[in-house]
Structures are given as structure tokens and as C-alpha cells.
């Protein structure tokens, strides 16, 4: 299996890089690409849904990005130790009726020796927002380096 640097055990800089790489992948909204960052038998808890393996990850993300339109995500390192990383995140999206929301959450990640995620546990809360309250205005895709992160935005 190919490695996905940076590899554990993580330093602070490596953990920050790993978080940004995950953010960048999710902002592509390409389920097959995102799934490559997880082991073939990866286990997820996402809200109250349990997802096992890449095929289920792809199906889950396909459903997600069919409902959550114009999705833009920011992740930020919270803590790390050895082969584990904890992040907080917020994303903005709207439904097919134009109703915007900002979803806030925390994730706990565990990686194998090749730097591929074997477990992801996510807790997420949704806040309806008006379009005028949006804070993420970059073009769809990777967040520009100059765009503020969660702490700078006060999230």
C-alpha cells in the first residue's frame, strides 16, 4: 500500500499539514479522491451514521454532496499524539431550496503506519444561517492560503 505522508508519529507541523491535506481533499467534493485517504476497512462514526470501508465512504460522501451544495470547509488542528489527531471544523453549504447552514464539529482521527486513516469519529451540529451571514466566499475548491482559519474567524 502506498504511503500518505506525513506519517505518524506526528509532530505539530506534520499534524497541521495532515489536517490541511484532509481539508483540501474534502473541498474537492470528489468522493473517490477523498476515500483514498482512508484504509479499505476504515470505520467512521459521522453524527449517528456508521460507515465502514471505502465503498460506504464513497456512497456516504456522494449522498452528502448531493444535499450540501456549494460546500466549503475549514479544519483546524486541536490536538495530536502519536498516530492520532483531533480537529475542529466548520463548513457552510445550502440545500436545493437555497437554505444556508454552517455546520460545526469535532473529529478524532487514527492513522496506520502508512499515514492512512483507519478510524474517524465525528460529532457535528448544524446552525441555519442567512446567506448574508456566510463567511466562506472563496471559489469552490481549495481554501486560499490567505483566507482566515476558524480561530481568525472567531468560530
**pLDDT at 150 exceeding the cut of 80:** yes
Give 50-77 pLDDT, tens digit per residue.
Answer: 999 999 999 999 999 999 999 999 999 9
Residue 141 contacts residue 27 (beta carbons within 8 Å): yes
Give 104-145 pLDDT, tens digit per residue.
Answer: 999 999 999 999 999 999 999 999 999 999 999 999 999 999
Residue-range domain boundaries for the chain = 12-132
Domain 12-132, CATH among 3.30.420.40, 3.30.2040.10, 3.30.310.50, 3.10.450.50: 3.10.450.50
DSSP code per residue over 21-51 = HHHHHHHHT-HHHHHTTEEEEEEEEETTEEE
User: Beta strand pairing status for 100-111 and 84-94?
Assistant: antiparallel
Give 82-115 pLDDT, tens digit per residue.
Answer: 999 999 999 999 999 999 999 999 999 999 999 9
Amino acid at each position: 500500500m502506498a504511503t500518505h505522508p506525513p506519517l505518524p508519529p506526528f509532530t505539530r507541523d506534520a499534524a497541521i499539514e495532515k489536517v490541511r491535506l484532509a481539508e483540501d481533499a474534502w473541498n474537492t467534493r470528489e468522493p473517490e479522491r477523498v476515500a483514498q485517504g482512508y484504509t479499505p476497512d476504515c470505520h467512521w462514526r459521522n453524527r449517528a451514521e456508521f460507515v465502514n470501508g471505502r465503498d460506504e465512504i464513497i456512497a456516504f460522501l456522494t449522498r452528502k454532496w448531493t444535499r450540501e451544495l456549494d460546500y466549503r470547509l475549514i479544519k483546524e488542528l486541536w490536538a495530536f499524539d502519536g498516530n492520532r489527531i483531533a480537529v475542529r471544523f466548520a463548513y457552510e453549504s445550502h440545500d436545493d431550496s437555497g437554505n444556508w447552514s454552517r455546520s460545526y464539529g469535532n473529529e478524532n482521527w487514527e492513522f496506520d503506519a502508512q499515514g492512512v486513516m483507519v478510524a474517524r469519529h465525528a460529532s457535528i451540529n448544524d446552525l441555519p444561517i442567512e446567506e448574508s451571514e456566510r463567511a466562506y466566499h472563496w471559489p469552490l475548491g481549495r481554501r486560499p492560503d490567505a483566507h482566515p482559519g476558524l480561530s481568525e474567524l472567531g468560530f
